[in-house]
Amino acid sequence: MIKSNLKSEQQKSVKLAGVMYLLTILTAILSMIMIDSKLNVSGDMSFRMTHIIENIEYLRMSVAYELFFIYWSGCSFSCSIWSSKVSE
């Protein structure tokens, strides 16, 4: 009975970790397509800086995403460690 309960708890945590990793990958792809492509332009450095200053909201979204990504990766990693401890 206890082993069955542990297996179901482990399956739930593994599914949660998988969903979190999938969301991490999807948000990274969307960030590269929607945000980073707006900031990267060809030309000299002064043109790039002028472009970034004109589109400062994209830079802010990029920084916010990076902070969110670091937090989200930590949550995914913690979930993975927790699921491995449950199986012991």
- For 35, half-sphere exposure in the C-beta direction (CA atoms, 13 angstrom radius) is 17
As a residue count, the chain comes to 88
Give per-residue pLDDT as tens, 34-83: 777 777 778 788 888 888 888 888 888 888 887 887 777 776 666 666 55
Among 9, 5, 4, which Cα is nearest to 85's?
Answer: 9
* pTM of the predicted structure, to 2 decimals: 0.54
Among 16, 9, 15, 8, which Cα is nearest to 72's?
Answer: 16
Among 18, 7, 23, which Cα is nearest to 79's?
Answer: 18
Asked whether the predicted pLDDT for residue 6 surpasses 80, the reply is no
Single-letter amino acid, residue 50: T
Q: Could you tell me the pLDDT band of residue 88, with boundaries at 50, 70 and 90?
A: low
Asked whether the predicted pLDDT for residue 85 surpasses 80, the reply is no
Single-letter amino acid, residue 53: I
The residue that leads in pLDDT, 87 or 45, is 45
